[in-house]
Amino acid sequence: MPWVDVPDEEPKSNLKRNGTTMNGDNGHRRKKARHSYNSGSGSGGSAGPSASTTIQEQRAQLPIAQGREALIEEIRSNDVTVLLGETGSGKTTQIPQYIFESGLAGNGVIAITQPRRVAATSLAARVALEQNAQLGQLVGYSVRFDEKYSSSTRIKYMTDGMIVRELLSDPMLSRYSVVIVDEAHERTLRTDLLIANLKKILKARNGPIADDAKGKKQSHPLKVVIMSATLDAEKFSRFFYNAKILYVQGRQHPVTNYYAAENQLDYVDSAMRTFFQIHLDRPPGDVLIFLPGQEDIESLQASIDLFAKQLPSKVPGVLICSMFAAQDQRKNSQVFAPTPPNTRKCILATNIAETSITIPGVTYVIDTGKCKEKQFLARSAGGGFDTLLTRDITKSSAMQRSGRAGREGKGYCFRLYTEASFNAMTPSAEPEILRCSLTSSILQLKCLNQNLEDLDLMDSPDPDSIISSLKTLWLLGAIDNKAKLTPAGREMAAFPLEPQYACAVVASKNYGCTSEILDIVSVISASSKLFIDASEHRDTATEVRRKFRHPTGDHMTILNIVRAYREVTASTVNGTVVYGPGGSNEGSAKGNNKDKAAKREWCRKHFLNERALLEAKDIRDQLRMVCERVNIDWTVSALSKKSGENEGRTEEDAIVRSMGHGLVGNAAFLQPDGTYKQNLGPSTVKIHPSSSMCDKKVPAIIYDELVYTNQIYARGVSAISKAFFASHSAFTQRKA
Ligand SMILES: Nc1ncnc2c1ncn2[C@@H]1O[C@H](COP(=O)(O)OP(=O)(O)OP(=O)(O)O)[C@@H](O)[C@H]1O
């Protein structure tokens, strides 16, 4: 493939006028590199830090290290600081340590927020190492369904969602003395909500007139540091009353960008060819390939695998790893493991590997220039939906992607698009608040007595989106006719779940089936998919899993699988499994190794992803703790005698009705022509081929989600009685 090589983007210097430049280039500032792609000249390979460089020496060599004292002084004398720096300058790992080491944080905790969980956990591990501390002690992390910190934690990496959730129990974030908002330019919904709340908290904790709930000034002030790698700094600064902008100049190692001579339409094929060009012609160094989604990752993995097997034996081997949001975190973290000798690691990732992380060994990046972006299609008539669309990336993403090379030595980035396309890219993504569902955030804000529309936000959301989300919350019974939070809404907000599933848990109290609903929503909320459905064995998989199918649909089918898995032991694996509410030996420490191996084998035989089941177990444990906090008895099961309220109702009726309360806005009714039409909304939907209901015609269905391809498909489908809707309070109120 022909390539054009172009030096990496220079940082624009106009910000230096508005702020202060911390010159930290450390003598490593990149010369204008001109490498010919074919000659391979100038390639440093996977240099990496030499074995003799200690971790403290590595810290001292980072560009940011030279500006350390000046940075601390600026942060000390300003409530809010906006820090702009190139990728790899050392912002994310070093600033929290500088603040801690300078004593600036007093006795409080330093929070560093990240948009993505994999960044939060891997950064915490790295910084713990740099502090020579055990992870979870001085340095910890907190991400949804996983946390590692203790009372001695002073530096805490966390997702922006987790700190927004903490506002519910601690609206002044009083345990934190410094909040560092990293990758602020990504403008996730949670980051925007956090920033709006930080502005309020600053007034209350630091301002001349205290306006916290009790009208008293809080005891210790808050420092806020907004960090960004792009040029949005001025917008953040203006939002915080012209906060000081600091600019950290320099990156430790140079990255050379190569552009394709023509835009590559078949980006998966081009990525494969580029990978093998690197593998055959270039010195050692791992390769990170950015693709839009899981399907492309799987297809590229299959082709690289196929060709790698045909390479002559003298060519080094290829180890393929992948990283994407729907994959189990344990599998994602395998990309960080050292590459075996005489092997080149090839990491296939979505944009979850784009910001903040360092994957040791990566020298080459291949950027397809594509990503998937969530878009909320608001339906003010009721229940909009999120859909994932493949689109071109932004300039800021392209720079972040190339920044993943050159972390430990010289790096090279191959862009599968032309330089003209790069120049024409939108500078940065549209803020999520303008394009994503607001339902969960509005619910959380209601608990804080805040209305989204009254918040001082950097960008205000579309009124249609707000109306659609308020309507959903009303349907769930989380808010009343005056948009006031109901007691049930407060209970729902306590669960780290999408509001519709939190609603199903709350509703299960009245149907005596909380134990089952927790089983089901834990699987649905796991980041890994339960079913392994690679196309080559799809038919066999459907056949062996047929026994789990429940006539009411996918939710009961999930429950059957959870129960069957729970009952598998070394002695049952080849025999008949008896379904029951148990909890006896589920992949836990209690289960002995033989049982664990039996469970693994059972999952393999049934094309089930055991990781999803193990993750679901952890999630369920957390949900049980929340149930205890809000006084919901999670031991109540539709099969046990305890469920007195459920008399006369079958198990599946109780369970599907509980789910129905959560998914009341996601319902469709059968039409005379055999299609389903949304109950609240104009669309005709089809049942997804992966659903156990796909060949059935029932009067009414509920579904977990709609996916939009060439037509609208409902996924995660159960049959429900139409009478359920006639008796549901939302519809009886409407009639009244
Ligand atoms: N897990 C790790 N293993 C090895 N080196 C690491 C690791 N994490 C960070 N580093 C080193 O520290 C450097 C700075 O990383 P840091 O994440 O602080 O940079 P940054 O300025 O925040 O850039 P970005 O926004 O791109 O993450 C990296 O370039 C790398 O050399």
- 232-236, 420-424, 444-448: which range is least confident on average? 232-236
Ranges assigned E (strand) in 182-316:
223-228, 244-249, 255-260, 286-290
- Give the three-state DSSP class for 415: strand
Q: Is 407 in the pocket of ligand 1 (CB under 6 A)?
A: yes
Q: Examine the pLDDT at 589 and tell me if it is beyond 80.
A: no
Q: Is 360 in the pocket of ligand 1 (CB under 6 A)?
A: yes
- 599: its two tokens: 């469970």
**Cα–Cα distance, 560 to 213 (Å, whole number):** 48
Any bridge partners for residue 389, and if so which?
A: 373
Q: Is 229 in the pocket of ligand 1 (CB under 6 A)?
A: yes
Closest ligand 1 atom to residue 85 Cα is: 21
Residue 733's pLDDT band (cuts 50, 70, 90):
low
**Cα–Cα distance, 91 to 101 (Å, whole number):** 15
Closest ligand 1 atom to residue 89 Cα is: 21
Q: Examine the pLDDT at 212 and tell me if it is beyond 60.
A: no
What pLDDT score was predicted for residue 401?
Answer: 95
Closest ligand 1 atom to residue 356 Cα is: 27
Ligand 1, from 407, 410, 413: best to mutate by most atoms within 8 Å of Cβ?
A: 407
What is the whole-number distance in angstroms between the Cα of residue 719 and the centre of ligand 1? 50
Q: Which protein residue has the closest C-alpha to ligand 1 atom 9?
A: 358
What is the whole-number distance in angstroms between the Cα of residue 408 and the centre of ligand 1? 9
Q: Is 197 in the pocket of ligand 1 (CB under 6 A)?
A: no
Residue 480's pLDDT band (cuts 50, 70, 90):
very high
What pLDDT score was predicted for residue 588?
Answer: 47
Q: Residues for the chain: how many in total?
A: 736
Q: Which protein residue has the closest C-alpha to ligand 1 atom 14?
A: 90
Q: Examine the pLDDT at 251 and tell me if it is beyond 80.
A: no
Q: Examine the pLDDT at 614 and tell me if it is beyond 70.
A: yes
Residue with tokens 């078949």: 266
Ligand 1, from 54, 93, 183, 249: best to mutate by most atoms within 8 Å of Cβ?
A: 93
What is the whole-number distance in angstroms between the Cα of residue 68 and the centre of ligand 1? 16
Residue-wise pLDDT tens digits, 539-548 = 888 888 889 9
Write the ipTM: 0.95
Q: Is 89 in the pocket of ligand 1 (CB under 6 A)?
A: yes
What is the whole-number distance in angstroms between the Cα of residue 87 and the centre of ligand 1? 8
What pLDDT score was predicted for residue 579?
Answer: 38
Residue 355's pLDDT band (cuts 50, 70, 90):
confident
Closest ligand 1 atom to residue 406 Cα is: 29
Q: Which protein residue has the closest C-alpha to ligand 1 atom 11?
A: 407
Residue 271's pLDDT band (cuts 50, 70, 90):
very high
**Cα–Cα distance, 163 to 165 (Å, whole number):** 5
Q: Is 94 in the pocket of ligand 1 (CB under 6 A)?
A: yes
What pLDDT score was predicted for residue 228?
Answer: 83
What is the whole-number distance in angstroms between the Cα of residue 29 and the centre of ligand 1? 16
Residue 730's pLDDT band (cuts 50, 70, 90):
confident
Question: pTM value?
Answer: 0.77
Closest ligand 1 atom to residue 248 Cα is: 21
Residue 349: how many CB atoms within 10 A of its CB?
Answer: 25
**For the chain, what is the mean pLDDT?**
84
Residue-wise pLDDT tens digits, 65-106 = 989 999 999 999 999 999 998 888 899 999 999 999 999 999
Q: Examine the pLDDT at 232 and tell me if it is beyond 60.
A: yes
What pLDDT score was predicted for residue 385?
Answer: 57
- 256: its two tokens: 């050379």
Q: Examine the pLDDT at 41 and tell me if it is beyond 60.
A: no
What pLDDT score was predicted for residue 372?
Answer: 87
Kindly give the interhelix angle for 593-605 and 610-629, rounded to the nearest 10 degrees: 110
What is the whole-number distance in angstroms between the Cα of residue 356 and the centre of ligand 1? 7
Residue 237's pLDDT band (cuts 50, 70, 90):
very high
What is the whole-number distance in angstroms between the Cα of residue 253 and the centre of ligand 1? 11
Instruction: Kindly report each contact of residues 46-53 with a partner whose C-beta sits within 8 Å and lies 24 or more positions away, as own/partner.
Output: 46/283, 46/284, 46/285, 46/286, 46/361, 46/362, 46/363, 46/408, 46/409, 47/363, 47/408, 47/409, 47/410, 48/360, 48/361, 48/408, 48/409, 49/408, 49/409
What pLDDT score was predicted for residue 382?
Answer: 47
Closest ligand 1 atom to residue 357 Cα is: 27
Q: Is 91 in the pocket of ligand 1 (CB under 6 A)?
A: yes
Closest ligand 1 atom to residue 408 Cα is: 31
Q: Is 256 in the pocket of ligand 1 (CB under 6 A)?
A: no
Residue 219's pLDDT band (cuts 50, 70, 90):
low
Q: Which protein residue has the closest C-alpha to ligand 1 atom 7?
A: 358
What pLDDT score was predicted for residue 42?
Answer: 28
Task: Render 66-108 in DSSP notation, one character per residue.
Answer: GGHHHHHHHHHH-SEEEEEE-TTSSHHHHHHHHHHHHTTTTTS
**Cα–Cα distance, 245 to 11 (Å, whole number):** 15
What pLDDT score was predicted for residue 423?
Answer: 95
Closest ligand 1 atom to residue 119 Cα is: 27
Residue with tokens 């093998």: 276
Q: Is 185 in the pocket of ligand 1 (CB under 6 A)?
A: no
What pLDDT score was predicted for residue 24?
Answer: 37
Closest ligand 1 atom to residue 400 Cα is: 26
Q: What percent of the chain has pLDDT over 70?
A: 84
Q: Is 92 in the pocket of ligand 1 (CB under 6 A)?
A: yes
Q: Examine the pLDDT at 33 and tell me if it is beyond 60.
A: no
What pLDDT score was predicted for residue 231?
Answer: 62
What is the whole-number distance in angstroms between the Cα of residue 358 and the centre of ligand 1? 5
Closest ligand 1 atom to residue 93 Cα is: 18
* Residue 264, CA distances (Å) to 162, 367, 389 in order: 39, 11, 19
What is the whole-number distance in angstroms between the Cα of residue 177 and the centre of ligand 1? 24
What is the whole-number distance in angstroms between the Cα of residue 417 and the centre of ligand 1? 27
Q: Which protein residue has the closest C-alpha to ligand 1 atom 8?
A: 358
What is the whole-number distance in angstroms between the Cα of residue 523 and the centre of ligand 1? 34
* Residue 120, CA distances (Å) to 90, 499, 538 in order: 15, 24, 35
**Cα–Cα distance, 521 to 512 (Å, whole number):** 16
What is the whole-number distance in angstroms between the Cα of residue 93 and the centre of ligand 1? 6
Residue 43's pLDDT band (cuts 50, 70, 90):
very low
**Cα–Cα distance, 192 to 235 (Å, whole number):** 13
Q: Examine the pLDDT at 624 and tell me if it is beyond 90.
A: yes
Q: Which protein residue has the closest C-alpha to ligand 1 atom 18?
A: 90
**Cα–Cα distance, 288 to 298 (Å, whole number):** 15
Q: Is 408 in the pocket of ligand 1 (CB under 6 A)?
A: yes
Burial class (CB in 10 A: 0-12, 13-18, 19+), 733: exposed
Closest to 330 (Cα-Cα) out of 622, 609, 615: 615
Ranges assigned E (strand) in 342-384:
343-349, 362-367, 370-377
What is the whole-number distance in angstroms between the Cα of residue 360 and the centre of ligand 1? 10
Which amino acid type is present at position 429? A
**Cα–Cα distance, 287 to 28 (Å, whole number):** 23
What is the whole-number distance in angstroms between the Cα of residue 143 and the centre of ligand 1? 20
Q: Which protein residue has the closest C-alpha to ligand 1 atom 15?
A: 90
Q: Examine the pLDDT at 356 and tell me if it is beyond 90.
A: no
Residue-wise pLDDT tens digits, 662-671 = 999 999 999 9
Q: Of residues 581 and 642, which shows the higher confidence score?
A: 642
Distance of CA 260 to the CA centre of its chain: 31
Q: Is 8 in the pocket of ligand 1 (CB under 6 A)?
A: no
Q: Examine the pLDDT at 530 and tell me if it is beyond 70.
A: yes
Q: Is 401 in the pocket of ligand 1 (CB under 6 A)?
A: no
With a CB cutoff of 8 Å and minimum separation 6, the contacts of 401 are: 290, 351, 354, 365, 367, 393, 413
What is the whole-number distance in angstroms between the Cα of residue 280 and the centre of ligand 1? 28
- 304-308, 309-313, 432-436, 529-533: which range is least confident on average? 529-533
Q: Is 121 in the pocket of ligand 1 (CB under 6 A)?
A: no
Per-residue pLDDT averaged across 313-337, rounded? 87
Q: Examine the pLDDT at 365 and tell me if it is beyond 60.
A: yes
Closest to 555 (Cα-Cα) out of 445, 659, 424: 659
Q: Which protein residue has the closest C-alpha to ligand 1 atom 27?
A: 356
What is the whole-number distance in angstroms between the Cα of residue 579 and the centre of ligand 1? 49
